Structure 1
Amino acid sequence: MIPMTRLNRLVPSAVALTLLGAPLVGYLIRDGGRLVGAGALAFHAPRWGLLAAAPAAIQIHVAAALIALAIGLVLLAGVKGDRLHRTLGWVWVLAMATTAITSFFIHQINPGGPGGLSLIHLLSGWTMVALPMAIYAARRHRVATHRRAMTGMFVGGLIVAGLLTFLPGRLMWAIFFGPA
């Protein structure tokens, strides 16, 4: 029998992997082998000019996400609750909010959809709701709630969403892997 604490950590991870894995598998099946065939996967030096030529919203979005990623790694590895944690935490919150807000001005995934929004924008909306809730939990000394919320936003909003930017057809794919 798995202890309940381990099960509590395992179930959300399994659900997240399923929710992310299913669309990825569907995409790869629908792709019909074009991803790995006909030179679609071309390793080369990053083409930073593509990012420089992107709209300002995308540039701000990428910069804020990278700042949030770097600070998030420091916060996860560092001592919790001290002045440095709180100061970096506020900078992280601002970077995450900037990342989420700027995402609403990026419509390349679903330009013809409702308002140009796609399913990934749901994650941005959730981030805008979860950030104040996590801050409220910290101010009320509900450490476990705060930890879960912030870790969830880091993993879902930065790691998972960040990995999705490397799918074919997306800007990060073109910068790092797309045909030259």
Structure 2
Amino acid sequence: MSLSPLLNASLVIQIHTFLAIAAVILTITIFILPRGSTAHRWMGWTWVTLMAIVALSSFGIHGIGLIGPFGPIHILSVFVLFQLVMNVRAARTRNIRGHARGMKLLTLGALVGAGAFTFLPGRIMYQVVAGG
């Protein structure tokens, strides 16, 4: 394992990666907390902020361009931003079931699913884990 590929990457990739990792760690904590508690709400808002920055920062990362500089990850980023709004709205309107379901699906798709692709050969996180 070597952090040098990540530390040698552009600042936007470093911000994107470190905030995504922070969101993963925060996700675990949020899932452990009692639902609806003050800590759950504060950590939830922090998570939403982290995920919004992660999604927005992806627009500064260009690797697979299908439409100009934009690729599949950018479609996912638009979806994430939309889902963040919808899932926060669900919580604020007391649609707790919809909020919980939406946040779980967002976690699986945006953090776990998209995160798994970062470990494919040739990607920076693959290089980090494989040792450069």
When normalised by structure 1's length, the TM-score is 0.70
Structure 1 unmatched ranges of 5 or more: 1-45
Does residue 175 of the first structure (1) align with residue 103 of the second (2)?
Answer: no
CA drift of 1:174 comes to: 1.3
The runs of at least 4 aligned residues of structure 1 exceeding 6 Å deviation read: none
CA drift of 1:63 comes to: 1.1
Correspondences of 1:56-95 after superposition (within 5 Å): 56-95=11-50
Does residue 47 of the first structure (1) align with residue 2 of the second (2)?
Answer: yes
Structure 2 unmatched ranges of 5 or more: none
For residues 18-58 of structure 1, give each alpha carbon's deviation from its aligned partner in whole angstroms, at most 9, with x where no partner exists.
xxxxxxxxxxxxxxxxxxxxxxxxxxxx1211111100110
Matched to 2:41, the amino acid is: R
Candidates 80, 99, 103, aligned match of 2:58 = 103
SS of structure 2 residue aligned to 1:136: helix
Match of 2:82 in 1: 129
Identity across the alignment (%): 36
When normalised by structure 2's length, the TM-score is 0.94
- Quick check: 113-122 or 144-153, which moved more? 113-122
Matched to 2:26, the amino acid is: I
Match of 1:157 in 2: 110
Q: What number of residue pairs does the alignment pair up?
A: 132
Higher helix share: 2
Match of 2:70 in 1: 117
CA drift of 1:120 comes to: 2.2
Distance in 2 separating the partners of 1:152 and 1:123: 13
Distance in 2 separating the partners of 1:81 and 1:70: 19
SS of structure 2 residue aligned to 1:121: helix
For residues 127-165 of structure 1, give each alpha carbon's deviation from its aligned partner in whole angstroms, at most 9, with x where no partner exists.
010101111110110001101111111111001111110
SS of structure 2 residue aligned to 1:47: coil
